[in-house]
Amino acid sequence: MKVQQLVILAALMACGAAQAEIHGYADGPKLPGVPYCVHDPARPQPRIITTGGTVVVKAPSDAVVLFDGTSLDAWTPGWILKDGAMVAANRDIKSKESFGAIQLHLEWRLPAGREVDGQGGGNSGVFIMGLYEVQVLQSNNNKTYPDGQAGALYGQLPPLVNATSPQGEWQSYDIAFEPPIYKKGKVTQPAKVTVIHNGVVLQHGETYLGPTQHRKLASYPATHPETAPITLQFHGDPMEYRNIWVRPLGKRDLPN
Ligand code: MG
């Protein structure tokens, strides 16, 4: 290997090369398989696209409706019901029902007029099984470390593109998730997720390295629940949610 190649390799292996306008962590652990670290501000920014905005999908007949605009009863207490939306406040909330493999639809927005800067001002998150975050962040006209922007598997994998709508507009997530499979105490298939944002694929059958961590490399625990509640994150910001429903995904029907 030539000296020049070594220099390039060393630069690629260093984390958090200076990007003055992006807050991140230059001291994070290295992620496997890519030349980036957890919350690396130097990781390439996903391409910005515009979309048609929120895709409203009515709950199918076999869905468990977690919020239809009228009641917070499906959730632990803490958030506020306002004008047909759930407004984040006080603490994280959990669905009273537990789920494993699911299809999940929800819509979210950050009200207009709030100052947003990186991870601050417009942050929430969908924690599937209370463990695996699909990041919710007002990422339109707001740069942050790529594994922390809207639709990122937080701290692990940025979205394919930045499809975030302008602040104040509703936007949709459609998520399909499978929990990890354990055999004899070992993970034989990691947790798997597909994320569609405003009708655009951000994550396509990607896998989690383990339950979401902040500034740490994720890994799988020795034991894992089969089902668990969905958590919605309160990160200090009044993120709003509406039209939340889940379809538990069973095993494929056997042929007759
Ligand atoms: Mg978050």
Q: For all residues of the chain together, what is the average pLDDT?
A: 93
Q: What is the model's pLDDT at position 237?
A: 98
Which two structure tokens, joined as six digits, stand for 63?
Answer: 């869905």
Q: What is the model's pLDDT at position 18?
A: 53
| Ligand 1 centroid from CA 1, angstroms | 41
pLDDT of 19 over the 70 cut: no
| Ligand 1 centroid from CA 189, angstroms | 25
pLDDT tens, 50-94? 999 999 999 999 999 999 999 999 999 999 999 999 999 999 999
Residue 237 lies in a domain: yes
| Ligand 1 centroid from CA 127, angstroms | 9
pLDDT (mean) for 125-133: 98
Residue 206 lies in a domain: yes
Is there a single domain that holds both residue 5 and residue 88? no
C-beta separation of 79 from 254 below 8 A: no
Is there a single domain that holds both residue 150 and residue 230? yes
Is there a single domain that holds both residue 27 and residue 125? no
Domain range for 98: 44-248
Which two structure tokens, joined as six digits, stand for 175?
Answer: 């998520």
The pLDDT confidence band at residue 125, using thresholds 50, 70 and 90, is very high
pLDDT tens, 172-223? 999 999 999 999 999 999 999 999 999 999 999 999 999 999 999 999 999 9
Is there a single domain that holds both residue 86 and residue 70? yes
Is there a single domain that holds both residue 218 and residue 136? yes
pLDDT of 32 over the 60 cut: yes
| Ligand 1 centroid from CA 173, angstroms | 14
| Ligand 1 centroid from CA 124, angstroms | 4
Query: Of 71, 69, 79, which Cα lies nearest the Cα of 232?
Result: 79
Residues 6+ apart with CB under 8 A from 76: 93, 94, 96
pLDDT of 27 over the 90 cut: no
162 strand-pairing partners: 48
| Ligand 1 centroid from CA 137, angstroms | 7
Q: Which amino acid is at 127?
A: F
Q: For residues 143 and 125, give the distance between their C-alpha atoms in angstroms, rounded to a whole number.
A: 17
Is there a single domain that holds both residue 26 and residue 78? no
Residue 253 lies in a domain: no
Q: Do β-strands 93-99 and 161-162 pair in parallel, antiparallel, or remain unpaired?
A: unpaired
| Ligand 1 centroid from CA 202, angstroms | 16
